[in-house]
A and B are shown apart, each in its own frame.
Chain A
Amino acid sequence: MRFIRPLTALGSLALLAGTATPASGMVRVPTETGVTATTITLGTHLPLTGPASPGYKDVGAAIKAYFDYVNAKGGINHRKVNFIVKDDKYDPAQTKRVVSSLILQDKVFAIMSGLGTATHSTVVKDLNRRGIPDLMVLSGYSGFANAHKYPDTWPGFPSYIAEAKIMSKFIADTDSLKSLKACLLYQDDDFGRDAAKGFAIGGMSFAAKAGYNAALLASSGVKAQIAGFAAQKCELVVVFGVTAATASAIGTAKALGFSPTWLASAVGADKKTLDDLNVPKALLTGVYSPNFLPVAEDASDGYIALITKILGAANVPVTSYTIGAVNDAYLVAQAIKAVGKKLTRKGLIAAMAKAANFKTAAFVPFKGATHQGYSGYYIGRYGADLVQKRVSAGVYETDSGSGPVQLSTFNRPAAPANLLP
């Protein structure tokens, strides 16, 4: 009988599981998952630790600060929002795990502001299969803005294709830039591939291109790529990558005595984050970068005043990321409010399709019906005072296809008296 003993191993495991489990099949959900008479549970995955965490780790705290503010004023339709942040370390395998636990254990009503292209790619299919609203994904990967494939997903950034098209248009329209010898540094994944598509559509050609591997960024930076650009005497370097790549690029160029004009992508140019990454402030002067929101220093902007107050009350730093996070949370709160007392996932998805009616601080419309989301950018430039100022003729709008890049005629709604939905 000796050989039987090992086989009891699985039997014992099965019994153990059977006894250890509460009769969870008995619990009946009265309304919608993640919604009770007094609460709504939302969740997200963010890099709170690891190489991608600088800047982004504050996004969760910013959204929490916003919902705390809303909760203190009575919540949304008398329901308080419980917002759960889980750390995925920007590791796709970890994203899958934490989102599974948000869905199965925390039983969230919806996911909002999940960050990253490679990371969110691991969960987007599953969320849509289950019909869970997947709102304001912090990625510009155009694949997420696919209303047909992902009817429950809305991106929270304009697409990287649109961004690259707008950069191409801006360079072509700007006399001081269009004759410069341009070179491109890009992240070697879907993020960079999207950008390459956009530059191709925008008719932008580069004298040199170099990719970097996101996984190796923390260890080797982009030193070799920038040294290559210096040898080729590039005059305009476009960095289409994360902030850590921009930081490494600018730092390496400085060490080499190489001083091109810089144009950094929107997700790679946050001032506070660059500062945290030890980029000397002076090096930031003159750097161009797209943006679709007002900047932190613009005290005359009504939205910024309200957002700064909410962030300040919760001791969350005011950065382009946290401004965007609060703005996105404001939009989601309006969508939840619009569904009404009987809150369902289907209802929220229907409300998001009408998001064009909601107020946001963005200078471009949020296109909910097509799932495109925010639909354009202006180009800003850091001055000697390290404040980003708009230098493009206006705000550009475009799509992720071959549509033209046009100056926006969008009139942003005036700032409300408060940021309550």
Chain B
Amino acid sequence: MRTVLQRPWGRAVATMCLMLVSALLWMLVNNRVDALWNLRLAYVATYAVALFGMVVLVGHSGQVSLGNGAFMASGGYAFALAVMHGWPSWLGMLAAAVVGAAVGVAVGVVAARLSGPYLAGLTLGLAVGLPALANRFPDLLGGDSGLLLDGPYPPDRLGPDFPLERWQAWVAGATAIFVVALVSSLIVSPLGRSIRATRDHEPAAALVGINTSRTKVIAFAVSAVCAALAGAVLTQILGLAAPGAFGIGLSLSLLVGTIVGGRQSLVGAVIGALLLALTPEWLTALVSNFGLPDQVGLNLPNLVYGGLLLLTVGLAPGGIANIRRAGAR
């Protein structure tokens, strides 16, 4: 088994089998739950896609980004524009990935020269500035109202009564499975080792022949592509690409999800995605049960995120996914 899996083809076959099993499992769940849960699951999968990219960038490459919401915006708008020009959805997703990669490389080239607070500042500026472009070019990007899509709806061959939310969960789930397969392959590949080597000791990595700035740029581009795909999926769920969907709050919550879930772990990314997708709703419900004003419910998630971030950094720096391992040490 081990020897077969160590060969590239064996690995590829095993990965594909696992993707297939995950997809079947996901569809099984989607068929069992109601529309509300399918919508929730679609959000979970969407956040997971973005967080898989954050794991590569923050966990494995050791760079920080407060601006992955902006990469999501670039993917979302690319998808919306593509679909509005009559492209099919899958081509729109491809366009989102390409645009995400281009933006990611552009930012990555600059980011590779920066670190720590300077990198945080750059990406924060991106998170604030990029979605605001929509207001600068209202004719192309629809200004504050955004670009409104009709659909995408489930394909006709699924029948007229196929629930929209289940279709959205399928699209988000398929994207998540595809992305996690690619990212997990990347992590175990030689390139993944180079990325971690660069993070751990840049001069040493350079000495063994790793092009460290190139690996850093690649890590940025990978996380941007993941974010752009997540943005494209979010645009499909909302039927809309608008600045409000990709605000600064989104960028910051992506970082929180990454750290709290476990920044080096893809399982941690899923935990983070569950946290980001489900807690705001639960907190809002909790608050209204206590009869507190809505304002409290709307702002409570941010407070809770902040608290969780502090707790994680203080008590379990590896995140929720690594609590057990940290305890064993």
Which residues of A does B touch, CB under 8 Å?
A: 1-18, 21, 24-25, 48-49, 87, 89, 91-94, 96-97, 100-101, 104-105, 117-118, 121-122, 125-126, 188-190, 213-216
Contact = CB atoms under 8 A, between A and B. Distances in A.
B180 A6 contact: yes
Nearest to B238: A96
Contacts of B176: 10
25 contacts: A1-B1, A3-B187, A3-B188, A6-B180, A6-B265, A9-B270, A11-B25, A13-B45, A13-B274, A14-B26, A17-B37, A24-B34, A24-B36, A48-B294, A91-B244, A92-B146, A93-B238, A96-B239, A100-B39, A104-B39, A117-B145, A122-B239, A125-B150, A188-B138, A189-B145
A11 B21 contact: yes
Nearest to A215: B144
Contact of B44 (A13, A18, A100, A104): A13
Interface of B: 1-2, 5, 11, 14-15, 18-19, 21-22, 25-26, 28-29, 32-37, 39, 41, 44-45, 48, 135, 138, 143-146, 148, 150, 165, 173, 176-177, 180-181, 183-185, 187-188, 238-240, 242-245, 265-267, 269-270, 273-274, 281, 294-295, 298
Contact of A9 (B14, B180, B295): B180
A2 B45 CA distance: 23
Contacts of B266: 5-6, 9
Given A6-B184, A9-B269, A91-B244, A14 B25 contact: yes
Contacts of A25: 32-34
A17 B39 contact: no
Nearest to A106: B36
Chain A to chain B: the 3 pairs with minimum beta-carbon distance, closest first: A6-B184, A118-B145, A93-B245
Given A48-B294, A122-B239, A104 B29 contact: no
A15 B269 CA distance: 16
A10 B145 contact: no
Contacts of A216: 135
Contacts of A17: 29, 33, 37, 41, 44
Contact of B33 (A24, A122, A213): A24
Contacts of B183: 6
Contacts of B185: 3
Contacts of A10: 22, 25-26, 48, 173, 176-177, 180, 270
B232 to A, nearest CB: 15
A215 B135 contact: yes
A21 B37 contact: yes
Contacts, number: 149
A358 B34 CA distance: 38
Contacts of B240: 92-93, 96, 122
B18 A121 contact: no
A87 B1 CA distance: 56
B30 to A, nearest CB: 9
Contacts of B187: 3, 6
A396 to B, nearest CB: 30
A222 to B, nearest CB: 15
A219 to B, nearest CB: 11
A14 B138 contact: no
A12 B270 contact: yes
A16 B40 CA distance: 13
A6 B117 CA distance: 30
Contacts of A100: 39
B22 A11 contact: yes
Given A18-B32, A215-B143, 9 more contacts: A9-B267, A10-B25, A10-B26, A10-B270, A13-B274, A16-B274, A18-B28, A87-B298, A122-B242
Nearest to A7: B18
A6 B267 CA distance: 6
| Residue with the greatest number of chain B CB neighbours at <10 A, chosen from A4, A14, A89, A91 | A14
A103 to B, nearest CB: 8
B267 A104 contact: no
Contacts of B269: 9
Nearest to A100: B39
Nearest to A13: B270
A14 B295 CA distance: 33
A2 B295 contact: no
B54 to A, nearest CB: 14
A213 B44 contact: no
Contacts of A118: 144-146
A1 B4 CA distance: 10
Contacts of B36: 24, 104-105
B15 A49 contact: no
Contacts of A94: 244
A121 B149 CA distance: 10
A30 B267 CA distance: 41
Nearest to B179: A10
Nearest to B250: A93
A8 B45 CA distance: 14
A211 to B, nearest CB: 10
B12 to A, nearest CB: 11
